[in-house]
């Protein structure tokens, strides 16, 4: 199972279980809470009515006196009330009065007059000076619909120590059932929203964490495969610290391997010119004709220049190969870039008599990257074209755009690339002899060009032209 899925399931499981139990507690507490509130209201109303009924009960006119008349009128009322979002159109109270023996002497519904209620919990406890209340079915055997009964003692108005009877105030629980159901639904709906929002937060947090961890994983996989990649994006958390630690470790390990590789390569490439210098120096120690002495001195100078060029280009190549990403990016006009490169190599054209033919761009195109590196890469291609061009020849420099790519094309009229060299021209230290002198370059110019193109997300290609000569193409994404 993927880490992201584990995190989402774990977060949802924790939040979901917690929310479930919390909602269950709230939902289960709604009904008893509302009934307790109703009971508290019934207690107040029952004690108030008990005081009102005391005079009529003492005078023996509780069934037909003013108290009975007012209760009957109250039950005929239409409150026309809206409680929360429910309409109330009737008075739901039922009032019963028993004498001091527990016999019903008044019933607002006229059903139980004369019945002995002394064994009912509300009357029984109240007659003994305790708080009396009970909940019983509306009809015998119906446990789904119950009625709450709350009793209050009726005392003699002239002697508060004398108990005249008990007033019981009743209200069906179904009258408050809509409020209970609505409250439970509201809790469940809001709880569902809570779980949904929590799940969304969990998904976003998981995505944020997995994105960072996934970036580290892709970075580590690329480094393990030897691919040059930029370090993970900086973050101000532990994942960011881990990314920086991985990048530091990669630099140290790569730097060590890189130095070992280049020391071996440089040592191998220096053997030949050093041997030539040593041989020429030994011969110069012997008596020689002036012409031979001058020839050997020029040979030493040429080998020294070759060593210097190799070291300089090796350093330049090492600089770009060590970077897995561009250190600097800017918008570069393709036409202006070509003009700058041509001006830089212009001084080297006169001795060879080689001309550069620049075709004017058909539009204003631009690329993004490091202008310095792109000038050096394009300059290397021009240097190669000049070196392999015949005297008084020409080099063609063209800029085109197609399929979202800007292409810099350098064409010469030289001998082209031998078949055996096609696969090796971009290898480090591999070079072909110059047509005029037979000398070889350091073999680092084209590898440098290839690395610059890699950093810019482009491609470098070198191929023969059908009508003779070679053609080098740099392809970069247009912006």
**Tens digit of each residue's pLDDT (9 = 90 or more) over 3-15:** 666 776 776 677 7
Alpha helices in 131-176 (DSSP H): none
How many Cβ atoms are within 10 Å of 6's Cβ, its own excluded? 12
pLDDT of residue 142: 78
Higher-confidence residue of 471 and 240: namely 471
**258 pLDDT more than 50:** no
Summarize the confidence of residues 55-81 as an average pLDDT. 94
Domains of the chain, residue spans = 3-182, 228-325, 330-477
What confidence score (pLDDT) does residue 211 get?
A: 79
Distance CA 60, CA 317 (A): 119
Q: Which residue has the higher pLDDT, 68 or 375?
A: 68
Task: Give the per-residue pLDDT at 382.
Answer: 86
Choose the weakest-confidence range: 45-54, 314-323, 354-363, 397-406: 314-323
Residue 49 or residue 290, greater confidence: 49
8 A C-beta contact, residue 191 and residue 25? no
- 282/215 Cα distance (integer angstroms): 60
pLDDT digits (tens, 9 = 90+) for 11-39: 667 777 777 776 677 767 777 888 888 99
State how far the alpha carbon of 161 is from the alpha carbons of 97, 126, 158, in Å: 19, 14, 9
Phi first, then psi: give them for residue 157, nearest 5 degrees: -60, -25
| pLDDT recorded at residue 453 | 87
Right CATH number for 228-325 from 2.30.140.10, 1.10.287.130, 1.20.1300.10, 2.30.30.60?
1.10.287.130
Tell me which of 420 and 124 has the higher pLDDT: 124
Superfamily designation of domain 3-182: PAS domain (3.30.450.20)
Q: Tell how strand 355-358 and strand 394-402 pair up.
A: parallel
The rounded distance, in Å, linking the Cα atoms of 271 and 276 is 9
Whole-number Cα distances in Å, 284 to 298, 306, 459: 12, 20, 48
Q: Which residue has the higher pLDDT, 302 or 324?
A: 302
Average pLDDT, stretch 238-257?
Answer: 66
Which of 150-159, 187-196, 326-335 has the largest mean confidence? 150-159
* pTM score of the predicted model: 0.47
Q: What is the pLDDT of residue 30?
A: 77
Q: In the predicted model, is pLDDT for residue 363 greater than 90?
A: no
What percent of the chain shows pLDDT beyond 70? 80
Residue 350 pLDDT: 46
Mean residue pLDDT of the chain comes to: 81
Q: What six digits make up the tokens of 64?
A: 């037909």
Q: Using an 8 Å Cβ cutoff, are 65 and 105 in contact?
A: no
**pLDDT tens digit string along 274-317?**
666 777 777 777 777 878 777 777 767 766 766 676 666 566 55
3-state SS class at 410: strand
Task: Write down the pLDDT at residue 294.
Answer: 79
pLDDT above 50: residue 112: yes
Q: CB count, 10 Å around CB of 206?
A: 20
CATH class of 330-477: alpha beta
């Amino acid at each position: 199972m993927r880490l992201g899925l584990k995190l989402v399931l774990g977060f949802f499981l924790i939040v979901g279980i917690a929310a479930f139990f919390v909602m269950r507690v709230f939902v289960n507490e709604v009904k008893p809470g509302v009934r307790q509130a109703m009971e508290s209201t019934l207690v107040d109303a029952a004690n108030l009515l008990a005081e009102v009924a005391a005079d009529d009960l003492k005078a023996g006119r509780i069934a037909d006196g003013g108290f009975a008349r007012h209760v009957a009128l109250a039950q005929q009322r239409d409150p026309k009330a809206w409680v929360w979002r429910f309409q109330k159109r009737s008075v739901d109270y039922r009032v019963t009065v028993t004498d001091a023996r527990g016999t019903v002497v008044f019933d607002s519904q006229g059903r139980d007059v004369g019945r002995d209620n002394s064994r009912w919990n509300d009357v029984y406890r109240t007659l003994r000076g305790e708080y009396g209340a009970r909940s019983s079915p509306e009809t015998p055997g119906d446990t789904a619909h119950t009625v709450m009964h709350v009793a209050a003692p009726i005392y003699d108005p002239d002697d508060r120590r004398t108990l005249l009877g008990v007033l019981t105030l009743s209200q069906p629980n179904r009258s408050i059932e809509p409020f209970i159901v609505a409250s439970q639904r509201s809790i469940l709906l809001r709880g569902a929203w809570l779980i949904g929002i929590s799940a969304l937060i969990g998904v976003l947090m998981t995505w944020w964490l997995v994105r960072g961890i996934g970036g580290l994983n892709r970075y580590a996989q690329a480094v393990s495969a030897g691919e040059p990649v930029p370090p993970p994006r900086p973050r101000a958390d532990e994942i960011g610290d881990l990314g920086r630690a991985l990048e530091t470790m990669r630099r140290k390990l790569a730097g060590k391997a890189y130095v070992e590789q280049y020391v071996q390569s440089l040592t191998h490439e220096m053997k030949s010119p050093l041997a030539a210098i040593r041989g020429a120096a030994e011969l110069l120690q012997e008596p020689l004709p002036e012409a031979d002495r001058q020839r050997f001195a020029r040979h030493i100078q040429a080998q020294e220049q070759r060593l210097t060029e190799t070291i300089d280009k090796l350093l330049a190549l090492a600089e770009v190969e060590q970077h897995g990403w561009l250190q600097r990016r800017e918008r570069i006009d393709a036409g202006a870039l070509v003009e700058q490169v041509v001006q830089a190599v212009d001084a080297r054209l006169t001795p060879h008599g080689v001309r550069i033919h620049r075709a004017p761009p058909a539009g204003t195109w631009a690329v993004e990257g490091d202008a310095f590196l792109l000038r050096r890469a394009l300059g290397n291609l021009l240097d190669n074209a000049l070196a392999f061009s015949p005297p008084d020849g020409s080099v063609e420099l063209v800029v085109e755009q197609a399929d979202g790519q800007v292409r810099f094309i350098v064409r010469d009229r030289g001998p082209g690339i031998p078949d055996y060299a096609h696969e090796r021209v971009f290898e480090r230290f591999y070079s072909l002899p110059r047509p005029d002198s037979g000398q070889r370059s350091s073999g680092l110019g084209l590898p440098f060009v290839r690395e610059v193109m890699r950093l810019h997300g482009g491609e470098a290609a070198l191929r023969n032209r059908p009508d003779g000569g070679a053609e080098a193409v740099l392809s970069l994404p247009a912006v």
